[in-house]
Amino acid sequence: MTDTLGAGAALPGYDPNGFFCEIFGGPGGDAAPSPAIQERLKRLDVGDLTQRAQAASDELFNLGITFTVYTEREAIDRILPFDVIPRPIGAAEWAVIEAGVKQRVQALNLFLHDVYHEQKILKDGVIPKPLVLGNKNYRPQMQGLDLPHGTYVHICGVDLVRGGDGAFRVLEDNGRTPSGVSYVIENRHMMLRVFPDLARDIGLRPVDEYGARLHQALHEVAPAEIGDPQVVLLSPGVFNSAYFEHIFLAREMGVPLVEGRDLEVEDNRVYMRTTAGRAPVHAIYRRIDDDFLDPKTFRPDSMLGVPGLFEAYAKGNVTLANAVGTGVADDKAVYAYMPRVIDYYLGEEPIIQNVETHICGEAEGLRYTLDNLAELVVKPVGESGGYGILIGPQASREELEQFRAKLTADPANFISQPVVSLSVCPTLVDGRIEPRHVDLRPFCLTGRDSWVLPGGLTRVAIKRGSLVVNSSQGGGSKDTWVLTE
Amino acid sequence: MSQPLLARYASCIFWMARYMERAENLARLIEVNEVFARDRRGAHNWEAILRLNADWERFEKRYGAPSEETVQYFYMLDPGHSGSILSTVTMARENARTLRPFISTEMWTHLNEMYNRLRAIESGPDRLPNIADFCTKLKYGAQAHSGITEGTFYRDQGWRFYRLGKYLERADQTTRLIDVKYHALLPSPEDVGSPLDESQWNALLRSAAGYHAYRRVHPRDLTPAKVAGFMLLNAQFPRSVRYCVGECARNLSELIQLFELPRGVEARDLLDALLKRLEETDIERIIAEGLHEHMDAVQLELIEVARALGRAYFGSEE
């Protein structure tokens, strides 16, 4: 028996390399979430584990829990690689995450309401005006619209990372159409089927409430005068790579999964085409970007949207979740200001801090960034998906100099952050258990109030040493176990 | 009286059912034709199946003159032929994919597995799987689909659209199966009643899983007229045209009355008229007027029914 459960002492050949380990704790011997899980993990036979992992993959494929990759010739269904070793989070730690995420969402909603009404935060100079009003995700059409309960971000995914010191930090807010929650729930189903022994009596908080909670939140924000509102999920269709998630959520909520062609607007009211003719629609969980929602208001070439939808929305006859124009709040530029935004509206310290961020539009931030360019990650604001990012430690001298020139020419367009040494979690790779870097995306639902799903999407970088957890770049996922104690 | 059902979903349910029924019947058709082909007119019979399905030109463009292997491949696993079993199951699966929030997980998983298994078969005209084995597995797959659907599909409007699609397709396919015999053996006086003729009718009945039921109705004689009559007009045999049309009419009536969807009356009138004719006629009269012509007419009427359903419920604009 091992008495001390310090890092690396636990599994033969397993060495977190000085990173914080989600199962065995920090390099300094920090408390680990669950000794019971450590014990069970040590007893596992890797051969058996590998076999069961294969069975899980097969099952995911047959169940069609897949995303679709389109080549010129055909559509190929791929599963998101699923790693069978769970990522546990202790109850005390989770309580902090839960409170921190709620605080964040509350601030985001207050911020959006303000931006689309009096704009006090801009007038008070807390955030530079052009950053918000010049942002391509700012929607002037939203100005002055009152939304039920002032909720703009009904569904929020907050990306968290844990650094070497063991503290969680926010890397990014996803306030438009955060995805991945279907994997959270399906991973759990899979886990309980394939590894009932691992999860037994461990005190695991369930995740299957999500669909009912989402439906409830959408009910709460539907137009007030409707007694029993019709909720639908609006998807771009089967060719969307996240189509499985759309299916999943519609099924969990028990609502129709519609496409733009199923809806029509007359006299500023929205209807769906049914076998009995038209039936009214009151709340739409839309998985289509603002740009494509309504060719009359936004991009006229959109084939996915519904002509007249925005006008019906503006009249308050239908609710859209998330609201139009939330992209202005999850922008990288605004992200840098989030600690100040939280303080401005709530008079509170952020419960979960941002990753240390330097705003190059401010003299101090720019000087620091230029002085430490080779150690920092510099990101252009207003872009998404990792375009135009400089990763200092990986850049050549020439690249650094080129970037320095770009940065000096337009400093307001950039923020910088240190490279975060993401925590690791034991992961099954090629028949061995090795440390791999992970992040965490909890999901928060807000109708009248906020609720955080006790779980979250743990993404894992399958490649050794890689810090990139995105599924498009070979990332996989794990079941996230929020424990009752 | 029930939850609203998207017109597009109704259409997908209807077509998912049709495609699965079609895949099963294609397997039956291939199986029976393979039996026929063992006789002296073998090559001719594989041409017949092309004529029967009006696929002659489509086939010729791809393969030229028909051979046994190319025709079999064309109908079994040719991904470039929209009427192959592979394509038909693919279409059923695509409809099921759209319907995933609506159908049971078990229905979807089974269809997805069946599709993935079919897709995994490496084949070509020169590399065909064993026909009997392939057809048996396909039938089992399609029947498992029916069973899972029966056991798990929620009984609202969707179920009625499923049944409508299934029985409309089956009615159509049974007329084709009867017609195969017509094409396979253009009746020459000396063949009628020959052992060969009898064995072919026998095979036809078996391919429709109707042999034993037929024997219960006609224990002593197996004549062409009686077999055709049984497959066309019997009220209790679940693959007879009359039975299938009756099921269509019954399900459509439920949609109209129980689910208050009156738009279907035009289609119901067409079905009622067809059903009445099938109930009142007898096989001697049909044969006298021309069996093949009669099958053609029924097929055209079924097409009209499908069109009327499209206008009434699926939002087709025509």
Nearest-by-CA chain B residue for A261:
B8
Preceding peptide of B33 cis, ω within 30° = no
C-alpha span between A6 and A282 (Å, rounded):
54
Q: What pLDDT score was predicted for residue A481?
A: 95
Higher pLDDT, B40 or A404: A404
- A-B contacts (CB, under 8 Å): 71
Q: What is the pTM of this model?
A: 0.89
E-state strands within chain B: none
Residue B201 near residue B224 (C-beta atoms within 8 A): yes
Q: What pLDDT score was predicted for residue B207?
A: 83
User: Between the CA of residue B152 and those of B102, B160, B163, B210, B247, what are the distances in Å?
Assistant: 11, 14, 14, 27, 20
User: Between the CA of residue B169 and those of A122, B2, B18, B240, B297, what are the distances in Å?
Assistant: 65, 26, 5, 12, 15
Q: Which residues contact A206 (CB under 8 A, 6 or more apart)?
A: A188, A454
**Residue A291 distance to chain B (closest CA, Å):** 24
Question: Looking at beta carbons, which residues of chain B come within 8 Å of A257?
Answer: 101-102
| Contact assignment for A250 to B101 by CB distance below 8 Å | yes
Instruction: Evaluate whether residue A179 is within a structural domain.
Output: no
Instruction: Evaluate whether residue A394 is within a structural domain.
Output: yes
**Residue B113 distance to chain A (closest CA, Å):** 6
Q: What pLDDT score was predicted for residue A485?
A: 84
pLDDT tens-digit readout, B69-107: 899 999 999 999 999 999 999 999 999 999 998 999 999
Indicate the average pLDDT of chain B. 90
Final residue of a structural domain among A366, A388, A418: A418
pLDDT tens-digit readout, B180-235: 776 665 455 556 556 667 777 888 888 888 889 999 999 988 888 899 999 999 99
B4 touches A: beta carbon within 8 Å: yes
Count of domains for chain A: 2
| Contact assignment for A275 to B5 by CB distance below 8 Å | yes
C-alpha span between A164 and A160 (Å, rounded):
14
User: Between the CA of residue B261 and those of A207, A273, B8, what are the distances in Å?
Assistant: 39, 13, 15
Q: What pLDDT score was predicted for residue B297?
A: 95
Same domain for A360 and A301: no
Q: What pLDDT score was predicted for residue B203?
A: 80
Report whether pLDDT(B292) > 80. Answer: yes
Residue B74 near residue B63 (C-beta atoms within 8 A): yes
Instruction: Evaluate whether residue A181 is within a structural domain.
Output: no
Q: What pLDDT score was predicted for residue A99?
A: 98
**Residue B266 distance to chain A (closest CA, Å):** 15
Q: What pLDDT score was predicted for residue A302?
A: 87
Q: What pLDDT score was predicted for residue A58?
A: 87
| Contact assignment for B97 to A259 by CB distance below 8 Å | no
Nearest to A286, CA basis, from A255, A329, A316, A332: A255
Pairing assessment for the beta strands A277-280 and A168-174 based on DSSP bridges: unpaired
Final residue of a structural domain among A418, A445, A471: A418
**Residue A236 distance to chain B (closest CA, Å):** 12
Q: What pLDDT score was predicted for residue A8?
A: 39
Residue to substitute from B12, B91, B100, B152, interface A, most A β-carbons within 10 A: B100
Residue A168 near residue A440 (C-beta atoms within 8 A): yes
C-alpha span between A396 and A210 (Å, rounded):
46
Q: What pLDDT score was predicted for residue A6?
A: 37
| Contact assignment for A273 to B6 by CB distance below 8 Å | yes
Instruction: Evaluate whether residue A2 is within a structural domain.
Output: no
Instruction: Name residue A11's amino acid.
Output: L
**Residue A79 distance to chain B (closest CA, Å):** 14
Instruction: Give B147's pLDDT tier (boundaries 50, 70, 90).
Output: very high
SS3 track for A24-76: CECCCCCCCCCHHHHHHHHHCCHHHHHHHHHHHHHHHHHHCCEEEEECCCCEE
**Residue A119 distance to chain B (closest CA, Å):** 41
Same domain for A301 and A229: yes
B7 touches A: beta carbon within 8 Å: yes
- What backbone phi and psi angles, to 5 degrees, belong to B265? -60, -35
Instruction: Evaluate whether residue A388 is within a structural domain.
Output: yes
C-alpha span between B309 and A61 (Å, rounded):
35
Q: Which residue in the set B10, B98, B102 is minimally distant from A275, CB to CB? A: B10
Nearest-by-CA chain B residue for A238:
B98
Q: What pLDDT score was predicted for residue A249?
A: 96
Residue B96 near residue B107 (C-beta atoms within 8 A): yes
C-alpha span between B255 and B265 (Å, rounded):
10
- What backbone phi and psi angles, to 5 degrees, belong to A417? -140, 155
Instruction: Name residue A358's amino acid.
Output: H
Q: Return the SS3 of A286.
A: strand
A239 touches B: beta carbon within 8 Å: no
C-alpha span between B167 and B150 (Å, rounded):
14
Residue A42 near residue A11 (C-beta atoms within 8 A): yes
B10 touches A: beta carbon within 8 Å: yes
Final residue of a structural domain among A305, A324, A341: A305
C-alpha span between A353 and B33 (Å, rounded):
73
Question: Looking at beta carbons, which residues of chain A come within 8 Å of B116?
Answer: 61-62
DSSP for A338-372?
Answer: HHHHHHHHH----SSPBPP-EETTSHHHHHHHHHT
Report whether pLDDT(B242) > 70. Answer: yes
C-alpha span between B71 and B65 (Å, rounded):
10
Same domain for A361 and A301: no
Q: What pLDDT score was predicted for residue A3?
A: 36
Residue A419 near residue A405 (C-beta atoms within 8 A): no
Nearest to B29, CA basis, from B158, B154, B181: B181
Residue A436 near residue A454 (C-beta atoms within 8 A): no
Instruction: Evaluate whether residue A251 is within a structural domain.
Output: yes
C-alpha span between B102 and B7 (Å, rounded):
13
| Contact assignment for B7 to A262 by CB distance below 8 Å | yes
| Contact assignment for A274 to B98 by CB distance below 8 Å | no
Tokens of A25: 């704790």
Instruction: Evaluate whether residue A368 is within a structural domain.
Output: yes
Instruction: Name residue A172's amino acid.
Output: E
Tens-digit pLDDT profile for chain A (485 aa)? 333 333 334 577 888 888 999 998 887 766 666 778 888 888 888 888 899 999 988 888 888 777 777 766 677 777 788 999 999 999 999 999 999 999 999 999 999 999 999 999 999 999 999 889 988 899 999 999 999 999 999 999 999 999 988 999 999 999 999 999 999 999 999 999 888 888 888 899 999 999 999 999 999 999 988 889 999 999 999 888 888 899 999 999 999 999 999 999 999 999 999 999 999 999 999 999 999 999 999 999 988 999 999 999 999 999 999 999 999 998 888 999 999 999 999 999 999 999 999 999 899 999 999 999 999 999 888 655 556 788 899 899 999 999 999 999 999 889 999 998 899 999 999 889 999 999 999 999 999 999 999 999 999 998 888 887 877 677 899 999 999 98
Residue B25 near residue B173 (C-beta atoms within 8 A): yes
| A window 18-77, beta carbon within 8 A of B | 61-64
**Per-range mean pLDDT, top range of A241-255, A459-473, B46-60, B254-268:** B254-268
Indicate the average pLDDT of chain A. 90
pLDDT tens-digit readout, A426-449: 999 988 999 999 999 999 999 999
C-alpha span between A105 and B111 (Å, rounded):
41
CATH number for the domain harbouring residue A373: 3.30.1490.270
User: Between the CA of residue B148 and those of A70, A390, B93, what are the distances in Å?
Assistant: 30, 54, 15
B313 touches A: beta carbon within 8 Å: yes
CATH number for the domain harbouring residue A240: 3.40.50.11290
Q: What pLDDT score was predicted for residue A386?
A: 58
Give Dmax (Cα) for chain B.
61
Q: What pLDDT score was predicted for residue B191?
A: 60
| Contact assignment for B101 to A247 by CB distance below 8 Å | yes
Same domain for A299 and A228: yes
A256 touches B: beta carbon within 8 Å: yes
Q: What pLDDT score was predicted for residue A312?
A: 98
Q: Is B195 exposed, middle or buried (0-12, 13-18, 19+ CB in 10 A)?
A: exposed
Beta bridge partners, A452, equal A444
Q: Is B83 exposed, middle or buried (0-12, 13-18, 19+ CB in 10 A)?
A: middle
Instruction: Evaluate whether residue A160 is within a structural domain.
Output: no
Q: What pLDDT score was predicted for residue B195?
A: 67
C-alpha span between A32 and A90 (Å, rounded):
8
Nearest to A124, CA basis, from A273, A367, A453, A345: A345
Residue A417 near residue A356 (C-beta atoms within 8 A): yes
A262 touches B: beta carbon within 8 Å: yes
Supply the range of the domain harboring residue A236: 224-305
| A window 408-467, beta carbon within 8 A of B | none
